[in-house]
Structure 1
Amino acid sequence: MVILSTCNRTEIYFTTGQASQVIQWLANYHQISVTDLKKNIYHHQDLMVVSHAYRVASGIDSMILGETQILGQIKQASKLADYAGTQGKILSQLFQKSFETAKKVRSETHIGASSTTIASCIFRLAKKIFGNIDDINILFVGAGEMNELCAKYFSDQNPKKIAIANRSIQKAKGLASKINADAILFADINHKIHQYDIVISCTGSQLPIIGLGLIEKSIKLRKHKPMLLIDLAVPRDIETEIGKLDDIFLYTLDHLAEMAQEGMKNRKGAVKDAELIIQRYVNEYNKKINQRTITPSIKLLIDQFEDFRTKELIKAHKDIKLGKSVDEVLDKLSKNLSKKFLHYPTKALNESATEKNNEVTDLLKNIYNLKD
């Protein structure tokens, strides 16, 4: 089993057991009813799982088309499951192939050519609102994976200042040290948030942590200098009423997804190319799985023919020791092998003729390349 959990999806990949058991476990874990959970569930099987995994890894199934963060998240999920001993050989191979597919999609199509990552969409907004970013202060609330990716992106754009606020100050300091940023206590947000032009929040809180009153106060302290607020959390970190305030630009993950889709009409060809690559890799995966299924039968066939050969060879050696000529021994050996090799195919043909079934006949013609 491998569990992939991101800001807007939770997927469970498994190879044993029933879907109903997994759904029940998930409902119990989150203390919600199975009925409510089923309203938001999709379920894939067999090759549909392969296709879906490849689409997810390639960014085709993301809210923001072509975004690259998802690939890292899948790799992390696979790594954690492998460490926990729950991944298994089948899922390990599936995800390794999904990484290969994603690499091919990104290198051979323009699926990620536009500003389609979350961070790049936020940067585009910041440029529209503030112009140059080199005089901008940015606060990241939360030090999880999503904010770390965005913080690293913005660090490369050289803003005036970046700060990380997190419930765990050690975790905030850990991320801050990676990008030469400041770390502040979570409690300091209330009296420091007005110092920041951009606030990007993504925590695991079940309730909003940035309220209307706080931002109203901040705007006054800023003398109505604009603020860009980005809420990447699910559920929301920032109260929705804040978006109605003057001089406040509030965007959620859904808004960013819509922005990323704006350029989609011009990239339909890239999506089509990506789908073709994914389908090709799905077909290759299916072919290898089928080959693995038939491998035991091939081994049985080889072992049986080898047994025939060995037994006839022993007989041939005995005949030579009895003084029979080599030509006579070889003739007998070849005839006996032919009889044994043809015994079961001939028997199957006779039985199929009795049942008026042409499938065996057609199969043997194909195997032995027989022409009428």
Structure 2
Amino acid sequence: MQPTPRLEIRDIERSFEGRRVVDGVSLSIMPGQVTCLLGPSGCGKSTTLRIIAGVDMQDSGTIHVDGQLICDTIYRVPPEGRGIGLMFQDFALFPHLTVAGNVAFGLKGRGPEVRARVEELLRKVGMLGHIDNYPHQLSGGEQQRVALARALAPRPGIMLMDEPFSGLDDRLRDEIRDETLDVLKSEGAAVLLVTHEPAEAMRMADEIALMRDGRIVQRGAPYNIYNAPADRAAAAFFSDINVIRGKVRGALTETAFGHFLAPGVPDGTEVDIVIRPQHLKIDFDRGGRGPNPTATEGTPARGIVQRSRFMGSESLVEFRMDFDGSLLHALVPSVFLPQPGTAMWLMIRRDRCFVFPAA
């Protein structure tokens, strides 16, 4: 018998002024699972979240919690009855309440059980020492921790998070994300996190749902969705990419790096061969001796350095290729700053290339 998802949405659609903002979105999330709804601004992520929370209404589709229908286009459980916790970019703490008062706000009663729950959560988020402080006495990171504790206080079965870390600086953001993930896992909630940052999704998610133009275009574990993108745009969303354009002839595409297989693609069709900069390798051993194909890396190709920049832990080098004049970028570990005009031989990891119909 298959376990029942904590949250399941089926074929949700929503339009505004004739424009389809959410288009047939379906998701299921198990208890203790973190799913990231990832995509660019305006793709429908936040609208989907608001529909699940009950603050917006879908035009069609259904929402289920623990197998029970909570919302379709006729029947609708109000937001406060859905057992869903919410965290948004704005922490929205009550300025007139202490940290303890904010966390206890959604709890019933005032007895020792409430106080124990407040202290338990504040201990988990490292804020027990600030229990009697007011929000204006806290830093942004501390307010974030209190907002998390408040959202978790009623023990919601589902936690919805809409870019909750965007207001924090980079160093603090990583720390708070990791702490938040630990707390959410310990509480066993099903988590749906909305973000436009691939690094955040990769860091936090058990599953990523990549969204574009109102639709989910790919779902999977972070490793799988990164290493097997559904299309060129999906690959480009997670990192910079190089694109080698070619035309298919006899199921082969000719490039500076040799022929690539394109089975089933009609002759004359243009394809894009996509490779990330970290998988474009400089052959330091070959120097100027010319091509010497290998089974793994194919034919080396010569490029002329256009510019190079040190990025901190690595260097980015731009080449103009002799074969067709295209520009390709390579990431090289540590410091490597060759002079413009230097000729170098490049190789590519064929097992790291993706072939897609030309965009």
Q: TM-score range by the shorter chain?
A: under 0.3
- Structure with the larger RCO, 1 or 2 (CA within 8 Å, 6+ apart): 2
Give the number of the structure whose alpha-carbon radius of gyration is greater. Answer: 1
TM-score for both structures, normalised by structure 2: 0.23
Higher percent of residues as helix: 1
